[in-house]
Amino acid sequence: MAMWVFGYGSLIWKTGFPFDDRLPGFIKGYRRVFHQGSTDHRGTPEFPGRTVTLEPANGEICWGVAYKITNEQDKRDALTHLEVREKQYDQKEYLDFFTDSNDSEPAVTGVMVYIASPDKKSNNNYLGPAPLEDIAKQIVKAEGPSGPNRDYLFHLEEALVELGFKDKHVTDLAAQVRLILSETQELSNDVAANHV
């Protein structure tokens, strides 16, 4: 029996475990949102970054990539890697995965998906929804052991574009972050010009 894992965040561009096949596609009934606090990768406990999780959403789909792992040792290695990497994600779901929007039957059933739930008891890093501008400001400032939070967002945006997928939340947020960065750059240029 093959094990399948669905990646909708950094797993799209940075896998970190061996796999036999990689299928672009989507799951139904969820949307990708930047509601999860990252205190171990893209932020710190003092200043968490924001990473994606999934929230149930009727009629919506979330594009990403499913990885197929068949070798028993590879499965163990993948699970060991994922349990550490996704330790702030408190739920595992097994969902249907589709590769074509016209298909009524899933390409794969029982794809494993890590989800950070809004339950503060089991997920104390859940940050929840906020205005786009506030999320963008937080992403601009946050940095953790895996690097700046903005790199996570930009890599995700780029990976989705490369796959030909559109995600309005991701592109709107990336545009907002770029705007803040350009305004900050202009400000520091003005300050530097005034000190010449």
| Catalytic site positions | 86
* β partners of residue 137: none
Question: What is the Cα–Cα distance from 27 to 113, expressed in whole angstroms?
Answer: 10
Burial category of 3 from C-beta neighbours within 10 Å (exposed 0-12, middle 13-18, buried 19 and up): buried
Question: What is the Cα–Cα distance from 54 to 115, expressed in whole angstroms?
Answer: 6
Question: What is the Cα–Cα distance from 157 to 168, expressed in whole angstroms?
Answer: 10
Residue 88's nearest CA partner among 24, 39, 136 is 39
Strand order across the 3-7 sheet: 21-38, 49-69, 3-7, 108-115, 91-97
Residue 35's nearest CA partner among 122, 155, 115 is 115
